[in-house]
Amino acid sequence: MPDKLTDHSQIENALRESEERLRVIVEASQSGIVQIDIKGLIQFANRRMAEMLAYPPEELIGSLYVGHLHDSERSGASVSLGQLASGEVDHVCTERRYLRKDGSEFWGYLSGRRLDGPDGTFKGLVCTITDITERKRIQDIMVQTEKMTMIGGLAAGMAHELNNPLGAILQNVQNIQRRISPLLNANQVICDEIGLDFDLLQQYLKKRGIDELLNHITTAGTRAAGIITNMLAFSRKGSAALEPTELSQLIDKAVELAACDYDLKKKYDFRTIRIVRKYDMAIPPIIMNRAEIEQALMNIVKNAAQALAERQAGAQPQITLRTLCSGQYAIIEIADNGPGMHQEIARRVFDPFFSTKEIGVGTGLGLSVAYALVVNNHRGLIKVDSVPGKGCKFTVSLPFNPGGTQ
């Protein structure tokens, strides 16, 4: 009898030890681990999982697993769960977007396996989830940089080739305008020489709208020249000196430039937009190529103004400009309360020539140029966050220590 008791407590001890060991391993894991029952409810979540989702662990238990996924993932996750439940597959490995308690999102690499009961029936799932947000971000930058290098090289090559013929077109239009102008004495002299009535010629040109036709050529040519300048910005490694620049002044200048551009085009009225400034005046000046960053910010502000012009009547159109410090970076945020954009568009906005605007309004170069200037030339970061219907926020991060900039 005493022997049996000892056996019993030894077994209990061994069990307890083994349970403790398992618990320590599961809790020490750098990956989130969750167990999900057949109804899709979370039955167990380790500490890391709770940390990643930013929930108190006890609140996770009993919650619906798919409830922690980003909207865009839910249908895919339901399909996977169905396949696992039916036995069509016994495991899944995929990347998914998850939501934290506060609604912010992160990317997780999910590896899920089906749990079977002793009789082979489906008992639920065990999933391991690793936060890969940082890896995704770096991957995105690399893909974008690769795209920029490829298309940028092509664009720059084309721009150089187009520059000369375009220059010739614009210059020759100017020459023609001069040679038919009544203001130039030489024209009158030639007319007299060949016995042509210069006044009659003027009348003819006027009646046939020649002046206007020439102006159209100049306008179209100037627009093309603007596009070419942007295309050249991809390959140009700015040679201008780097200078310490006060961010608040720089942003104000960019807004001013964007506003002038609008006034010139008279398409949208910048004055109806309320500009809210929330500058952190304690940020030290940042070393940069001032003209480049100004151009990048101006492109972003112009887009915001264009987006605001499209929005339906409602709250007053507003652009909020904010600066702050975050670790190694000075951050500039430009937010508007316009129509915003869907995720599929947000993914492509930095692509050269990507535009949702009518031909003639958008060239799709504004943000790709901003990207090239901020990321490639200044080792900074640029990203967009948007909630469709609510607006857009562009974040430009510039390193305090740009060591090796350009």
Ligand X SMILES: Nc1ncnc2c1ncn2[C@@H]1O[C@H](COP(=O)(O)OP(=O)(O)O)[C@@H](O)[C@H]1O
Binding site for ligand X (CB under 6 A): 299, 303-304, 307, 336, 338-341, 345, 349, 354-357, 362-368, 392
Residue among 52 and 307 whose Cβ is closer to ligand X: 307
Residue 216's CB is within 10 A of a number of other CB atoms, namely: 12
User: Least CB distance from residue 302 to Mg ion, whole Å?
Assistant: 6
Residue among 366 and 391 whose Cβ is closer to Mg ion: 366
**CB nearest Mg ion: which residue?**
366
Query: What torsion do the CA atoms of 183, 185, 191, 197 make, to the nearest 10 degrees?
Result: 40
Residue among 230 and 376 whose Cβ is closer to Mg ion: 230
318 binds, among Mg ion, ligand X, none (CB under 5 to 8 A by kind): none
**Window contacting Mg ion (CB under 5 A); options: 11-19, 156-164, 296-304, 394-402:** 296-304
Residues in 144-183 that interact with Mg ion by CB under 5 A: none
40 binds, among ligand X, Mg ion, none (CB under 5 to 8 A by kind): none
Q: Which of 338, 366, 391, 399 binds Mg ion (CB under 5 A)?
A: 366
Determine what percent of the chain falls in helix, strand and coil, rounding each to the nearest 5: 50, 20, 25
DSSP reduced 3-state for 192: helix
Residue among 32 and 366 whose Cβ is closer to Mg ion: 366
Residue among 238 and 391 whose Cβ is closer to ligand X: 391
Q: Classify 50 in phi/psi space as left (phi over 0), alpha (psi -120 to 50) or beta.
A: alpha
**Window contacting Mg ion (CB under 5 A); options: 259-267, 287-295, 339-347, 361-369:** 361-369
289 binds, among Mg ion, ligand X, none (CB under 5 to 8 A by kind): none
399 binds Mg ion (CB under 5 A): no
Residue among 285 and 339 whose Cβ is closer to ligand X: 339
303 binds Mg ion (CB under 5 A): yes
Residue type at 302?
K
Q: What is the DSSP letter of 362?
A: B
User: Least CB distance from residue 279 to ligand X, whole Å?
Assistant: 20
338 binds Mg ion (CB under 5 A): no
- The residues pairing with 387 across neighbouring beta strands, listed in sequence order, are 391
Residue among 92 and 319 whose Cβ is closer to Mg ion: 319
| Beta-carbon contacts of residue 31 (< 8 Å; ≥ 6 apart) | 48, 128, 129, 130
- Residue pair 331/396 in contact by the 8 Å Cβ criterion: yes
User: Least CB distance from residue 366 to ligand X, whole Å?
Assistant: 3
338 binds, among Mg ion, ligand X, none (CB under 5 to 8 A by kind): ligand X
| Beta-carbon contacts of residue 35 (< 8 Å; ≥ 6 apart) | 42, 43, 44, 45, 115, 124, 125, 126, 127
**Can you tell me the distance from the alpha carbon of 181 to that of 162, in angstroms, rounded to the nearest whole number?**
29
Buried b / exposed e over 82-109, threshold 16 CB at 10 Å, is eebeeeeeeebeeebbbbeeeeeebbbb
Query: Total binding residues for Mg ion by CB under 5 A?
Result: 2
**Can you tell me the distance from the alpha carbon of 359 to that of 55, in angstroms, rounded to the nearest whole number?**
48
Q: How far is CA 37 from CA 61, 75, 126, 144, in A?
A: 11, 18, 9, 40
User: Least CB distance from residue 53 to ligand X, whole Å?
Assistant: 30
- Residue pair 128/31 in contact by the 8 Å Cβ criterion: yes
Cα atoms found within 13 Å of the Cα of residue 91, Cβ hemisphere only: 8
User: Least CB distance from residue 304 to ligand X, whole Å?
Assistant: 4
258 binds, among ligand X, Mg ion, none (CB under 5 to 8 A by kind): none
341 binds, among Mg ion, ligand X, none (CB under 5 to 8 A by kind): ligand X
Residue among 34 and 307 whose Cβ is closer to ligand X: 307
Could you list the residues that contact Mg ion (CB under 5 A)? 303, 366
